[in-house]
């Protein structure tokens, strides 16, 4: 690998850019691929296959070739609303996955570095917290507080930004009331139906770690549907 290529890779990784490294296993030639970027003569015949691999977040050798593709995908931003007990298990389950997790909770006695070490915590109300965070359709939201004053503004932000995953903790009755508030706030039925509520895949568990596991399972499932 050329030193200039290595420098570019290091720079892109530091800025959390999404790209892939293409390597011709026969002659050792390498190249960086990015969406919308044309490939050199060395790799241009494989443009469609490369784009396919990258879109599917896959690594591997293109069939019947010597071209190896290694994709570097930016961690998915997962915003947890509420530094509750379930959130601690969520963080434990998700830390080995490709997620960038942060927590928003204005209640300082919950959201502490002691309970959530090495994690970004924003001790502000969601309306203020989201001014500090870059979000997009590739972001995910998990609302856990049961408190409409905290959860609802976060859900509204996620709906407006079209987060690919939005989930909210609570019983069926709690979710019905939540949906009614959102409807009164002007959100359409289709928007409201995009919220997973009650949150999580139905595994049958009721303890905090079991609920957290069901949420992570649903989050991963929706991630691969993107």
Residue-averaged pLDDT of the chain? 91
Q: How far apart are CA 77 and CA 82, in angstroms?
A: 16
Task: Specify the CATH number for 76-223; select among 3.10.150.10, 1.20.140.10, 3.40.50.720, 3.40.50.2300.
Answer: 3.40.50.720
Q: What is the percent of the chain with per-residue pLDDT over 90, rounded to a whole number?
A: 69
Q: Specify the pTM.
A: 0.77
pLDDT surpasses 80 at 197: yes
Instruction: Tell me which residue of 165, 167, 159 sits closest to 87, measured CA to CA.
Output: 167
| Residue 15 clears pLDDT 90, i.e. is over it | no
**CB of 10 closer than 8 Å to CB of 1:** no
Q: Using one digit for the tens of pLDDT, what is the confidence trace for 142-186?
A: 999 999 999 999 999 999 999 999 999 999 999 999 999 999 999
User: Is residue 141 over pLDDT 90?
Assistant: yes
The domains of the chain are located at 10-72, 76-223
* For residue 1, pLDDT beyond 80: no
Judged against a pLDDT cut of 90, whether residue 3 lies above it is answered with no
| Residue 46 clears pLDDT 80, i.e. is over it | yes
Q: In whole angstroms, how far apart are CA 56 and each of 52, 71, 118?
A: 6, 9, 30
pLDDT at residue 67 is higher than 80: yes
Long-range contacts of 110-113 (CB under 8 A, 24+ apart): 110/82, 110/83, 110/84, 111/83, 112/83
Which is more confident, 219 or 36? Answer: 219
């Amino acid at each position: 690998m050329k030193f200039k290529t290595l420098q570019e890779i290091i720079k892109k990784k530091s800025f959390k850019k999404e790209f892939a490294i293409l390597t011709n296993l026969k002659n050792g030639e390498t190249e960086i691929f990015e969406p919308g970027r044309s490939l050199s003569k060395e790799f241009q015949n494989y443009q469609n296959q490369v784009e396919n691999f990258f879109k599917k977040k896959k690594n591997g050798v293109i069939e019947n070739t010597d071209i190896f593709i290694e994709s570097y995908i930016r961690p998915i931003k997962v915003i947890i609303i509420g530094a509750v007990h379930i959130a601690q298990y969520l963080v434990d389950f998700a830390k080995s996955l490709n997620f960038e997790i942060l927590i928003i909770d204005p209640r300082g006695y919950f959201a502490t570095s002691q309970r959530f070490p090495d994690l970004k915590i924003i001790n502000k109300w969601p309306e203020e917290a989201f001014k500090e965070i870059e979000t997009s359709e590739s972001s995910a939201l998990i609302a856990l507080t049961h408190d409409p004053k905290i959860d609802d503004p976060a859900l509204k932000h996620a709906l407006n930004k079209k987060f690919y995953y939005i989930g909210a903790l609570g019983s069926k009755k709690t979710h019905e009331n939540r949906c009614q508030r959102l409807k009164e706030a002007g959100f359409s039925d289709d928007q409201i139906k995009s919220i997973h509520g009650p949150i999580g895949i139905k595994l049958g568990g009721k303890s905090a770690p079991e609920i957290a596991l069901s949420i992570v399972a649903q989050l991963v499932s929706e991630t691969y549907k993107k």
